[in-house]
Structure 1
Amino acid sequence: MIDILLLILKVLPFSLTYSFVSNYFYYFVIFQSKLGKRIFLKKKLYNHEPGHEEALKTFKQALLSETMFSTVFIAIINSNAPILKTHVKVRWGLAAETWWIFLVEASVLFIINEIYHYTVHRNIHRRKVFKFFHVLHHSIRYPIPQSASVAQWTEQILFVIPFVVLLFCDVHIISILLFSVTIKFFSLIQHSGHEFVPGHIREKFPFKYLNTASFHQVHHSVSMRHNYGFVTNILDRIFKTRYHQAE
C-alpha cells in the first residue's frame, strides 16, 4: 500500500500538468485564437454565458477528473511491478516503424472506442445506475469546453479501462497519443456551445455522420435518451437513438 501511495505521489505532478495543459492548451488554441474563432465559433447554440463562479467550478471539476484519469495511466507506466514490466507491450522505438502504421493503429483504436463509448454511455444512462456514474456530468445543462472532462470517479474508471488495456497490447505509443489527441479535440468541440459545421452541409456526407456540438447539446438539454455516440452518430443511427433537432 505504501509503495502504491509513493508511486501516486511520484506521478501526481505529471498528471496535474497533463490535466491542465490538455484542457487549457486546447481551449486557448481552438477557442481563443483568431483562426480558431473563425473556424469553430461560427454558430452559438445558446445564449447562456457562465459566470466567473460557474466557470471556475467547472474548471476545478475538470482538473480533478482529468487528474484522476491520467494518474492511473501514468502510474501504471511507471510501476516497477514485475507483472506489469513483463506484460506491458506498448512499443516505444521508432527504428522499425512507418508513419502509416501509426494511422492504421489509431484508426483501429478509434473504431473500438466508438463501440465502447456508445455501449458504456448508453448503459450509464439507465435509471438505476445514472446517479452513481453520470449525474455530475449532466449537472451542466449548458456546457463549456472544460465540461467535457467533468465526471464522477466511477465514470472515470469506466473510461480509463480502455487505456489501461492498451498498455498490454502491441501498439505504438505514438498511435495512442494520436488517438488520444483526436478524441480530446472532438470532446471539447462537442461541449463548446458552438456549432462549427454550417447547417446547409450538416446533413451531407461526411458531416451527417458526425456527432457535432448541436447533436450533443440535444443530449444535454433536450433528451438524455438520445445521441449517445462520441465522435460519430453511426451507432445512434443503427440502434435508433439518434435525435435530430430541426433548426
Structure 2
Amino acid sequence: MPEDCLFTSLARFAADVYPIIFQNDLYRYLIGAGGTFLVVNTLLAGWLARRKIRKDKPGWRQMGREILASLRTVMIFSLIGLAIAVSVNLGLLDVYEDPAERGWPYFMANVIALIVAHDAWFYWTHKIMHRPRLFGWFHTLHHRSHNPSPWTSYAFDASEALVNAIYLPLALIVMPSSILASFIFTAHMMLRNAIGHCGYEVFPARADGRPLFDWMTTVTHHDLHHARARTNFGLYLTFWDRVMGTEDPLYYERFARAVGKPPLAKGVNADDPRQLQKAG
C-alpha cells in the first residue's frame, strides 16, 4: 500500500476509534472515582464513620482541582490507548478479541501477570519520582492532596500521567492479551486506586488488629503515604515495600486504630482465644 494511502487509512481509523477510547477512559474514571465517592464517602459514610482514617474531610475546592487534573490524565491515557489501537491495527501488538483464544489458564495467568507487573512498575516509578530532583517535575500535584479523596486517583502532573500510561503498551509488547484481560486490568486499576484514596478503611481486620489480607495494600497503607510521603510506595501489594524496607513503621498501629481494634501487646497470640480474652 502506498505511504499516502496507509497514512490516510490510519488517520481515518484513528478518527473513528479515538472518541470511543476517550469515552471509555472518561467513563472508567467517572464510574470508578465517582462511584467510590458516592458509595463509600456519601451513602455509607455514616455506617463507616468509625472507620474514618482522619477526622477532617477533603474540601470541595480540593476535589474540584482533582477532577480538573484528572480530565487531563484521561486525555493522556486515551492518547496512549489510541497508540495501542493503531499498533494493533498495524500488527505491532497482539491484542485479540476471543479471551479463550489461548486457553482459559493463559487468560487467568495473563490478568494476574498484568496486575502483578503493574504493581512492580508503579512501586519503582513511584519511588523514583519521590527523589528530590524529580518530585517537582512528576509528583507535586498528586501530593497537594494531603488528605485524599477518590477523585485524587487520577490527579497527576502530565509527566506522571504519561509514566503511568506507558505501562500497558510496554506490557502488551511482551504479553499478548485479550481485550477482556486488558479491560479487567484497567477496571481493577481504577477501582483499587479510587478505594485507596477514599479515606475510610474498608478492608477487613484480624482479631489482633492487623489486615486480614496482609499481602494487599489497604486504604490506611496508601493514606499514610499521603500523610508522610516517604513510605508506602506500593499500589496493590505490600511485597515491594516490605522487601525494600519502605513500609511505614506506624502502618499496623494506624490500621488497627482505623478499624477500632487496638493492636495487641507483644507476645499475645492472635490465634489463642484465651490470650485474646485476657488482652481484651
When the two chains are superposed, the root-mean-square deviation of aligned CA atoms in Å is 3.0
Mapped pair 1:180 → 2:186: yes
Q: Distance in 2 between matches of 1:156 and 1:8?
A: 21
Counting only pairs closer than 5 Å after superposition, residues 64-103 of structure 1 correspond to structure 2 as: 64-78=72-86, 85-94=90-99, 96-103=101-108
Query: Which of 160, 180, 185 is matched with 2:165 structurally?
Result: 160
- Closer, same or farther: CA 16–240 of 1 in aligned 2, 3 Å: same
- Closer, same or farther: CA 41–183 of 1 in aligned 2, 3 Å: farther
1:116 equivalent in structure 2: 121
Query: Which of 57, 61, 66 is matched with 1:53 structurally?
Result: 61
Shift in Å, 1:150: 0.9
- Closer, same or farther: CA 6–45 of 1 in aligned 2, 3 Å: farther
Output the amino acid matched with 2:127: R
Output the amino acid matched with 2:144: S
Shift in Å, 1:230: 0.8
Shift in Å, 1:195: 0.7
- Closer, same or farther: CA 19–108 of 1 in aligned 2, 3 Å: closer
Identical aligned residues as a percent: 21
Counting only pairs closer than 5 Å after superposition, residues 26-65 of structure 1 correspond to structure 2 as: 26-33=32-39, 37=44, 41=48, 43-65=51-73
Query: Which of 193, 203, 222 is matched with 2:210 structurally?
Result: 203
Higher Rg of the two aligned structures: 2
TM-score normalized by structure 1? Answer: 0.84
Where in structure 1 are there 5+ consecutive unaligned residues?
A: none
Counting only pairs closer than 5 Å after superposition, residues 136-147 of structure 1 correspond to structure 2 as: 136-147=141-152
Shift in Å, 1:199: 4.7
Aligned residues of 1:11 and 1:75 also touching (Cα < 8 A) = no
Q: Distance in 2 between matches of 1:7 and 1:120?
A: 33
Which deviations, in whole Å up to 9, do the C-alpha atoms of 1:210-233 show, x marking residues without a partner?
211111111111x21110011111
TM-score normalized by structure 2? Answer: 0.75
Output the amino acid matched with 1:118: Y
Structure 1 range deviating more: 88-97 or 210-219:
88-97
Q: Secondary structure at the match of 1:227?
A: coil
Aligned residues of 1:8 and 1:71 also touching (Cα < 8 A) = no
Output the amino acid matched with 2:74: E
Aligned residues of 1:134 and 1:151 also touching (Cα < 8 A) = yes
Question: Number of aligned pairs?
Answer: 241
Structure 1 range deviating more: 122-131 or 159-168:
159-168
Where in structure 2 are there 5+ consecutive unaligned residues?
A: 1-6, 258-280
